[in-house]
Amino acid sequence: MNFKPFEQIQGRLQTSKTDSDLSYFFDLLLFGEAITKVVNLFLVACINEDNERTKYRQEYDLVRANAIGDFARSIDEIITGPPAQLLTSSIREFELKELVQRSSGEDWQYQAQSLLDQTLEVFKIERNTLPLKSPFRTWFGTFTHLRNKTKGHGATTIGPCSDACPLLEQSINLIINHFSGFKRPWAYLHRNYSGKYRITPISDDARQFNYLKSETVHSLENGIYVFLDKPRKVNLFYSNAELTDFFLTNGNLKGDSFESISYLSDTRVIQKATDYFQPITKLPSSHTEGTNELDVIGNCFTNLPEPTDEYVKRPVLEQELEKVLTDIERFPIITLLGKGGIGKTSLALHVIKPITNTNRFDLIVWFSARDIDLLIDGPKQVQTKVLNQKDIANDYCNLVYPSKEIKNKLEFFSQELSKNSFGKALYVFDNFETITNPIEVFEWINTYIRHPNKVLITSRISRNFKADYPIEVGGMNDSECRALIDLVGTKLSINNLLDSDYIDELITESDGHPYIIKILLGEVSKTGKTSRVQRIVAEQEKILNALFKRTFSTLSPAAKRVFLTLSSWNSTVPVVAVEAVLWRPENEKIDVQGAIEELRKSSFIDIINDEKEALINVPLAASIFGKSELEVFPEKIKIFDDRALLMEFGASNQSNISVGLSAKIERKFSAVAKRIRSIEDFRKELPTLEYIASKFPDSYWFIVEIFEEYGEYESAKYFLREYLKATNDNNVKSDLWQKLADVCRFTKDWEGESHALSELILIPKVGFEHISEASNRINNFFRYHPEAKSDEHKQALLDKVIQAMKIRISEGSATDYSRLGWLMINNDQEEEALAIIERGLLLDSTNYHCQRLHEKLMFRY
């Protein structure tokens, strides 16, 4: 078995085994906790998405878990409760069978349970008798019982541990060596700037992920994945591309964050919980969902929802859509494309409603995949009705044939697309982008649809599928905006507050976006006064996320880069300026023109055609959203460099030699990264790149990333140190020393890691959490390399680290005091260590680490 998270923990076990049986037993319990959580999160990743949000419900509970028993119960619920029906078929003959099948005798599953049962017997813990046949899933509940009765609530002594440790170790080894989930391909995926992926294997064989090294069309988040029927992201399981440590959710949700824990280093890392705030109770239905029964409207059977009252006619779009919908011979698939809240659904409803009075269609069926309603008081989460082909077919059959038993509904509806039993049919798919796999569903529809039937799709995106007739829905024109403002203003009784200047500002700053206009007018109604449009929009974070977040996540790396560069500067930018900064002429792999067109189709930017040149404008709402995304974008430093270049280009309306050189920096590095085929090719380019980096130090990141991609970590470390020499920004230095420490740890360069961590600690005003974590890692270094204590250089390093931590220890917790105590012990300052530990116990008398260290020191004295 070569599963890196467990390999790391086994290394810790070897150390604790030589310490004491009590320490070894407690570390075995930690190992069991890690196994329970990994199995749980693996099973959650195996749940297919459904409109009941079953997978989300499990994750929602796990970020709020307060004990290991919550994870054991989640395992049981997934494999024996309703979620079991949604598990991917890839695990049914392997992991699922191993967990639920009743085992006996020589089966490894039964032996693991038997050894755990014997462990309980050693401690005289009451338990149910192990039956002759028992499913492996019960191991996790039994382990929880053992953990709670010993470490959790019991006063465990060293005596029974001597007999219990071999039994528990054998039980754990049987699981990690035989459970199929740990033999699957696991890897950490990191998306490179080129759009390709850096793949770091976590298990023995990760070759199934190799296609991601060469293909650039995939949009997978960075993180830990297991390959089953496809790469499945294992949420709430964290690491980095170097696999320096692994963190599993530890629950304890507080405010907007929860805790994750490393079972190797005991480090806790706080994770953002914003993705897990939506309630798990059944959500309301969307007001545009469509009715649950067919009704007769005009000459049609239909389930059309009621159109909204606040609709302003858009004659050009209405005429175009009506023309293609009523065309009998052409355009079987029509798409309405545009940003969220732009009016696609309202347009479709107001055009289709009059068509019901004609003889064009006999049946009109409305399918809704909407998950958010954009209301005037803000976006509201709603229950999604259809997510995939199965949902669509079921919805159709239940609606059109409620009393008829149809065995294969998917096949039946596929035939209905080609020849509908009612006659001429129009199928409307609203909010198509929220379908689980839009490309797959589109290809299915495209395969079966036949004249005279038609399909109308409303969607924010269409980059990966091509309709017969796409219609782009943009912002309203001036007269349409004024009509909407008058309509909403009358409804809210605020027309007396709206002067001509404010109305002009509203139209300009909203870029004719009807939903943004409604939101801004709603704010006027709430406050009883008009305010600056930009300030109001900037305060509407939920609305901006609802309008842009989902589409932004699907953009290609090049499009994200261009958009964030444009968003960082409030200015209309010539297209030629963007090309000058971002193009790589040596080997153009990042297609800037393609990225600009992708952004235009996704409604993130507008292209303004001038007589002399094309200009790019980022609407206000999109720009503010981009700025918020830029705050957490990993390559923010590069974006700010680009912004500086763009500002110079725009301010002078011409470039000079300096600007021309600067504009080629990013272009050169990216081009080299995509053109080279080996590390030897890259080394030929290195002298030129080193010279550029000496003038523009941020470019060292490019060199480091390329060396990492080829596994040349010694060179990566060298250029990280060169970057550190060149920068005076302490925030940047903090990130660089942390990065260098991680790379050193990955390459088992313990001396380099300890040096990097000590330098990190000595940076002025560095966060105390960095000091604490670095101290913990330095202690771990001495734990695994006790011979280093005789090294004079290491002693000098310890002196500096101890001094830095002593100065700021008042900011720390009892655990931090224990870490300072260990530093002192490693520096032969045991009396001072005892005093520090006693101060830590005054802070928290129950702190396990302080108690353990205090006992160790008292034993010596």
pLDDT digits (tens, 9 = 90+) for 138-173: 999 999 999 988 875 555 666 788 889 999 999 999
Backbone torsions φ then ψ of 431, nearest 5 degrees = 60, 55
Give the pLDDT band of residue 549 (cuts 50, 70, 90): confident
Is a pLDDT exceeding 60 seen at residue 99?
yes
Range list of β-strands (E), 237-282:
237-238, 247-249, 257-261, 268-272
Residue 530 tokens read as 């008009």
Is 476:315 a contact under the CB 8 Å cutoff? no
pLDDT digits (tens, 9 = 90+) for 604-643: 888 876 554 567 888 888 888 888 888 878 778 778 877 7
Cβ neighbours around 633 below 10 Å, total: 16
Look up tokens 């993705």; give the residue: 275
Residue 648: which pLDDT band, with cuts at 50, 70 and 90? very low
Query: Residue 409: which pLDDT band, with cuts at 50, 70 and 90?
Result: very high
Q: Which of 371, 553, 374, 385 is nearest to 463 (CA)?
A: 553
pLDDT bin (cut points 50, 70, 90) of residue 219 is confident
Q: What is the crossing angle of helices 792-808 and 814-826, to 10°?
A: 160
> To 5 degrees, how large is the angle CA 203–CA 205–CA 210?
115
Question: What's the chain's average pLDDT?
Answer: 86
At residue 248, what is the residue type? L
Half-sphere exposure of 86 (CA within 13 A, CB side): 21
Place of tokens 């006790």: 786
DSSP 666-683: HHHHHHHHHH--SHHHHH
Confidence band, pLDDT 50/70/90 cuts, at residue 424: very high
Q: What is the pLDDT of residue 577?
A: 62
pLDDT tens readout for residues 777-832: 888 877 877 776 667 777 777 888 888 888 889 888 999 899 999 989 888 888 88
> What is the maximum alpha-carbon separation in the chain?
97
Which residue would you say has higher pLDDT here, 662 or 249? 249
Q: In the chain, what is the straight-line distance between the N-terminal and C-terminal CA atoms, in Å?
A: 43
Indicate the range of 124-128, 434-438, 789-793 predicted with least confidence. Answer: 789-793
Q: Which residue has the higher pLDDT, 184 or 549?
A: 184
The CA distance from 281 to 52, in Å, is 9
Query: Is pLDDT above 60 for 854?
Result: yes
The span from the CA of 742 to the CA of 745, in Å, is: 5
Helix, strand and coil in the chain, % to nearest 5: 55, 10, 30
Residue-wise pLDDT tens digits, 440-494: 899 999 999 999 999 999 998 766 667 789 999 988 999 999 999 999 999 899 9
The string of pLDDT tens digits covering residues 372-399 is 888 877 788 888 899 889 999 999 999 9
Q: How far is CA 383 from CA 373, 546, 631, in A?
A: 10, 15, 31
Query: From CA 575, how far away is CA 19, in angstroms rounded?
Result: 66
Contact 431, 392 (CB under 8 A): no
Residue 665 has pLDDT above 70, yes or no: no
CA distance linking residue 445 with residue 440, whole number of Å: 9
Instruction: Give the count of beta carbons closer than 10 Å to the beta carbon of residue 697.
Output: 18
